[in-house]
A and B are shown apart, each in its own frame.
Chain A
Amino acid sequence: MAADGERLLAVGLSHRTAPVEIRERLAMDEDGVKSTIERLRRDEVVEEALLLSTCNRVELYAVPRSVEALQEFYGSFRGPSGERIDDHLYWYRGREAVLHLFRVAASLDSLVLGEPQILGQVRDAVRIAGELSSLGTVLHPLTQRTLSVAKRVRSHTDIGKSRVGIGNAGVDLALQIFGSLEGKRCMLVGVGEMGRQVAVALLSAGLEELLVTNRTFERSVELASEFGGTPVRYERMADYLPRADILLAATGATQPIITVPMVRMALRERRYRTIFLIDLSVPRNIAPGIDDLEEAYLFNIDDLSKVVDEGRQARIQAADEALRLVEDETDRFLASLRTVDINDDLRRITAVAEALRIAEIERSRKLTQGLDERQLKALDAMTKALVKKLLHRPMMAARIAAREGDMEKAQLLMDPWKADR
């Protein structure tokens, strides 16, 4: 059977079409995925199948034997109150299905645009389907291309670069200043929720040590033990300041508790190594004048939300870019399937031509009798080259026509060779 992108079918539901109560009914673990694929193939519902099941989507990519049987299979699922789930399902065919898989794998359909986990999940699904040898002439090339397209989107666009949330905005700024958080120490002043969020993000981005200080020492001990940090007494904050590469302030104080002279002194003591300060509190806890110091970089809560906005903007822009890339790749993939299609025909044509050439040489045997070994070889090479050259242009034209999707023209170009006379 020839590979044909039009036979591909994608059916499923995702966070866009179905609430969690429905999604969880279809979701399955690795064994479930395996047994479902096996069942669909045993019952001759599908020829090829790839099943992707994550907490946000359950999707089947298949070359069906019988679309009716597949519809029946999905008709058997019931929602929490016994209703059919048809309304939540989407069915894509051919180009749409290819495009959808590319978008999913490139994280363009994810709840959090650009999140990196989905590619791993797709890779797992491909591995499982591969183990069950349910990837054939359509799905095998498709899955290979999917993985490479997803990687391309990641490396050619900024989709995975900017992250969301105030905590990550803090990390982005820290990385913009330090390049890496390795070996960096952060002092958190205050135990509020916002400060905690940024501290957690910094820790998971590789922060070396977290110092925690608070007006009541017990609270800082609590928080410090929660994160594996070090509690510091509030009165000793200024002593520890020079050791902090990052200072996070989020207290309820009504006036600056970190002052310009404090930071100036800390900078001198740390030999002017850069210090990065985030003020999450309103009213502000860090004197704004600190930003005028040469090696201090101070950002307040408004600056951070600006980073968040910028990230969102960049993501939207990157998503547009990525979508264009994915559409191009879809067309290219479908074209490559078609090219595979006519390869057999082209090979047959070459064989016919070769047979004709040999027959012609046989016929001229009388004429070539007097030739020696070398001359015979030359004759052979010459006729071979001639046949190849004559075939080259029509075959090229057929290939191009096929790649452009004009199968009729491709067939027309190949027809004269196919007729057996």
Chain B
Amino acid sequence: MERLPYIAVLVAWGFVSMGHLLPDLIGDRLRGSLRTVAWAAVVLHVGTLAAGVLVSPYPTGFPEALSGMSLGVGLAYLWVVRHRLRALGMLLAPLAMVILGTSLVVPHRSVAALEQTGYSPWLPIHLGLVFAGLAGFALSSVVGMMFLWARRRLKQKNFVGMARLPSLEVLDRIQFRAMLFGFVFLTLGIGAGGAWAAASLHQAFTMDPKVWFTLLIWAWYGAALQVRLVAGRRGRWTALFSIVGFCGLIFSLVGLNFLLAGWHSYGG
């Protein structure tokens, strides 16, 4: 992994986060440039990832996974800021920074199954789809937390600084759309993974714990969408489903790859 450009991206997100969290520290003039800096960070991030894929050993390790996720959150930030939801950007920019920072310090190991299959064009497809899904779920859970917080304040009749928060309906709509987006891409990502495994390992399915756990999470999100679309329960229900689901995803991403042996585990 090329460290230098990533550090630049990290610094850029640090700047953007500071612009949101401590606006007084950054002058008026600089505050206007936050969006440009965020764009630059995302473009640089994409460029570095692409260069990595083209040039050196394909991205397969845990750091790359986190890096991809940070990129997803960064893209979500751009989308959110475009829609004038500053309060959300305030959460997403630090999130992108923290995930990317983690990716820079965790040890590099690559995925076990790749030693059998070698590089395949399925890899970027599988990873790209899964991480697009992850970004959707990340946005959904962050917005879900905001929804719960904003709702609690309304229920407690606490109106301090009220006008600065997005409305409940807007938050609810975003958490749902982000979840739907995540679900569609995770579905495609799982499908691509299965197709890849079928083509190169001659079995689409195995007792690999990550596959099982991911399917469980997939079902969880499927249930969340059911509850919303069929039973009509939205708002807090969607938020709770989303937050629990994302915790599961984090566990899957961090825990399973290291703890348990299987296709996705990080070998030596």
Contacts and interface: CB of A to CB of B under 8 A. Distances in A.
B157 A179 contact: no
B163 A179 contact: no
B168 A177 contact: yes
B121 interface: no
B165 interface: yes
A295 B235 contact: yes
Given A271-B232, A294-B235, A307 B169 contact: no
A295 B19 CA distance: 35
B59 to A, nearest CB: 40
B167 A297 contact: no
Interface in A174-197: 175-180
Interface in A300-341: 303, 306-307, 310, 314
Contact of B169 (A156, A172, A274, A291): A274
A350 interface: no
B164 interface: yes
Given A307-B162, A310-B160, A176 B167 contact: yes
A162 interface: yes
B147 to A, nearest CB: 12
A177 B154 contact: yes
Interface string A273-308: 110000000000000000100110101000100110
Given A271-B232, A272-B234, A294-B235, A177 B159 contact: no
Interface in A361-393: none
B118 interface: no
A192 B232 CA distance: 35
Given A271-B232, A272-B233, A306 B159 contact: yes
A178 B163 contact: no
A251 to B, nearest CB: 22
Contacts of B168: 176-179, 274
Given A272-B232, A272-B234, A314 B155 contact: no
Given A179-B170, A272-B232, A158 B159 contact: no
Contacts of B159: 306-307, 310
Contact of B164 (A158, A272, A273): A158
Given A179-B166, A307-B162, A297 B154 contact: yes
Which residue, A173, A176, A297, A310, has most C-beta atoms of chain B within 10 A?
A176
A8 B170 CA distance: 49
Nearest to B164: A158
Given A177-B169, A179-B170, A274 B235 contact: yes
A127 interface: no
Interface string A66-77: 000000000000
A303 B157 CA distance: 7
B58 to A, nearest CB: 44
B162 A291 contact: no
A179 B150 CA distance: 13
A78 interface: no
B162 A176 contact: yes
Contacts of B167: 175-180
Contacts of B170: 179
Interface in B145-185: 150, 154-155, 157, 159-170
Contacts of B166: 179
A161 B232 contact: no
Interface in B111-166: 150, 154-155, 157, 159-166
Q: For chain A, give the interface size range.
A: 20 to 34
B149 to A, nearest CB: 13
A146 to B, nearest CB: 18
B60 to A, nearest CB: 43
Contact of A158 (B157, B163, B232, B233): B163
Contacts of A299: 157
A174 to B, nearest CB: 9
A162 B232 contact: no
Contacts of B157: 299, 303, 306
B169 A178 contact: yes
Contact of A310 (B150, B162, B169, B232): B162
Given A178-B167, A179-B170, A303-B157, A294 B162 contact: no
Contacts of B232: 271-273
Contacts of B82: none
B163 A162 contact: yes
A271 B228 CA distance: 10
A294 B155 contact: no
B35 interface: no
Contacts of A306: 157, 159
Nearest to B237: A294
A271 B163 CA distance: 28
A218 B235 CA distance: 39
Contacts of A179: 166-170
A153 B25 CA distance: 19
A348 to B, nearest CB: 32
Contacts of A158: 163-164
Contacts of B233: 272, 294
Contacts of A156: 28
Nearest to B31: A156
A156 B27 CA distance: 13
A172 B164 CA distance: 11
A172 B154 contact: no
B234 A172 contact: no
Interface of B: 28, 150, 154-155, 157, 159-170, 231-236
12 contacts: A156-B28, A176-B163, A176-B165, A179-B166, A179-B170, A180-B167, A274-B168, A274-B169, A274-B235, A294-B233, A294-B236, A310-B162
A-B pairs, top 10 by smallest CB distance, nearest first, are: A271-B232, A179-B167, A310-B159, A179-B170, A161-B163, A179-B169, A272-B232, A303-B157, A178-B169, A177-B168
